[in-house]
Structure 1
Amino acid sequence: MSYNNFNLAIEITMALLHHFLLLLLLLPNIIAESEDPSGQFCNTNTKINSTSRVSANIDRLLPQLVSGAILNGFIATSYGNGEDQVYGLAQCRGDVSSKDCSTCIQDAAKEIRKRCPNEADARIWYEYCFLRYNTKDFFGQVDTSFGIFYYNVQNVTDPDPKTFNKELGALMDKISSQAVEPTNKGLGKEKTKLTPFITLYALVQCTRDLSKLSCAQCLAIAVGNIPTFCDNKKGCRVLYSSCYLRYELYPFYFPLDSQNTLTDASKVYHVSVVSKP
């Protein structure tokens, strides 16, 4: 190999190495940006100045919410005093790992301030976690004033819708009964076979600040909205500030079912947002 060719080979190698290193640096950002929240709520009636004491208290509250959720999967606490006091709650889905909980709640704390920088009442939902704060004490109160509904674009055909809805209702009753038991920390999840080849998976969860009665009340409202937003649909998610509901015709909760019985299940969803005055 000539001297010139040798130098050319080195230049090409260095250029490829440079691009490879650049890709490695960008990769975490690409991954992070792909994890979008399921929904958010920024109460425009609670505008605050970025230099206000309330805003500063939010910034001090968020690290407490993150550390508490990572440690226990749930935390409800406050920071500050008087009119500037801020109340916050963070919770991970009860079936996810501590690692997934940690990643999710840290993302939620970062994104909620980006998306709701000037609101004292803000909430953000991810698939694995939920975080909210407010200057009003909301602990222990059922809040279904703002709801996000995801529903599969495809309707159920096998089994027939009547049989499907009957089985879905029975499954929701079963897991709602699980969720209200204190030992289950607001979580209920179960599956049921609809046909030899199709399995229905469902999960509900209440925020852990709710009483047994309040949890049951929130889940009853969520389940009651299935016919309105998700009638005969292959999958549905109901996101409230006090409880969460989801069902699918494929495994989605942990530990994942190794037998995915419906490989052609559509995973395309429409979303509806409902806010009560």
Structure 2
Amino acid sequence: MASFVCGVLFLLIIISQGNAQYNSVICDNKIGNYEVNSTYQTNLDILLSNLTSNTENNYGFYNFSYGQNGDKVNAIGLCRGDVKQDDCRSCLNDSRGNLTHICPIQKEAISYQDRCMLRYSNGSIFGLMETSPWLYLSKEINATNVKQFNEAVGNLLRNLTGIAASGDSRTKYAAGNETAPNFETIYGLVQCTPDLSEKDCNDCLVGAIAEIPSCCDGKTSGGVIRPSCNIRYENYRFYDAPAPSL
């Protein structure tokens, strides 16, 4: 499922089929636009073209800058923690093309895909917790016992939050599963951009978990995707690497 939107704070995607993937681009107008063929556009093109050129990077986090003063561009690329190196680069390269096509003049834009996130900005973005624009994911299927299901989801994501937040400067990621009512297994994943401090990562994830009632209360699938962190849960294993129960 693909979508794009300009100048808004959030976007809701309803996933109606199992194993569905999301692909969303958000063009942000709050810091203005650049002129075609300007120095800023040249810097942006150079930065995005070379973002994944570091072949020694096998942990899926890229953060680079290019240019000076008002024409400086900052970019962050983050792949889901279980995504292999080649798939990571492929996802970021796809995102790069989507961003420059859908947001041809915006100085700030972000792409959310199932396997990766890519954002760029004229402003400071490194080491700073950013909560918007955000993306909600939800499935049109209700859990059998909403209260107990919500409790199981919350417990799982909170446990994973502590693991992810304590990660190092290369990876802040955790995935796992927990048994819900009626012996149904819930699979969860949480992740931060690893340039965040442990506290900021924890705060970002806790804030995202608190959004679950707004996006996907009682649903068997849900997620909150932010520039600095993301959470997601499903009733099937949607990540590749096996993870033990907590």
Q: Secondary structure at the match of 2:46?
A: helix
TM-score, structure 1 as length reference = 0.75
Q: Distance in 2 between matches of 1:230 and 1:75?
A: 30
2:112 aligned with 1:112: no
- Residue 220 of structure 2 aligns with an amino acid whose one-letter code is K
Contact 2:136–2:224 under 8 Å retained in 1? yes
Structure-to-structure mapping, 1:1-277, within 5 angstroms: 38-45=23-30, 46-68=32-54, 71-72=57-58, 73-157=60-144, 160-183=145-168, 185-194=171-180, 197-255=183-241
Q: Distance in 1 between matches of 2:163 and 2:21?
A: 30
Mean Cα displacement is larger for which, 137-146 or 244-253?
137-146
- Residue 39 of structure 1 aligns with an amino acid whose one-letter code is S
Greater strand proportion: 2
Contact 2:25–2:98 under 8 Å retained in 1? no
Q: Distance in 1 between matches of 2:68 and 2:211?
A: 38
The alpha carbon displacement at 1:255 in A equals 2.3
> Per the alignment, do residues 92 and 41 of structure 1 end up closer, same or farther by CA in structure 2, a change over 3 Å counting?
same
Contact 1:70–1:101 under 8 Å retained in 2? no
Q: Secondary structure at the match of 1:91?
A: strand
Contact 2:152–2:179 under 8 Å retained in 1? no
Q: Secondary structure at the match of 1:66?
A: coil
The alpha carbon displacement at 1:36 in A equals 8.2
Mean Cα displacement is larger for which, 169-178 or 189-198?
189-198
Residue correspondences, number: 221
Q: Deviations over 1:209-243 (max 9, x none)?
A: 11111101110111000011111011002111111
Greater helix proportion: 1
Q: Deviations over 1:150-200 (max 9, x none)?
A: 11111101xx11211111111011100111112481101110122575210
Q: Secondary structure at the match of 2:111?
A: strand
- Residue 137 of structure 2 aligns with an amino acid whose one-letter code is Y
- Residue 27 of structure 2 aligns with an amino acid whose one-letter code is C
Q: Deviations over 1:24-82 (max 9, x none)?
A: xxxxxxxxxxx986211111242111111111100010022222488241111100111
1:24 is matched with which residue?
none
2:6 is matched with which residue?
none
Greater length-normalized contact order (CA 8 Å, ≥ 6 residues apart): 2
RMSD: 2.0
The alpha carbon displacement at 1:147 in A equals 1.0
> Per the alignment, do residues 221 and 75 of structure 1 end up closer, same or farther by CA in structure 2, a change over 3 Å counting?
same
Contact 1:69–1:92 under 8 Å retained in 2? no
Mean Cα displacement is larger for which, 191-200 or 201-210?
191-200
> Per the alignment, do residues 254 and 69 of structure 1 end up closer, same or farther by CA in structure 2, a change over 3 Å counting?
farther
The alpha carbon displacement at 1:128 in A equals 0.5
Q: Distance in 2 between matches of 1:228 and 1:47?
A: 32
Q: Secondary structure at the match of 1:43?
A: strand
Listed as ranges, the gaps of 5+ residues in structure 1 are: 1-34, 258-277
Q: Distance in 1 between matches of 2:196 and 2:233?
A: 22
The alpha carbon displacement at 1:121 in A equals 0.5
Q: Distance in 1 between matches of 2:242 and 2:182?
A: 19
TM-score, structure 2 as length reference = 0.84
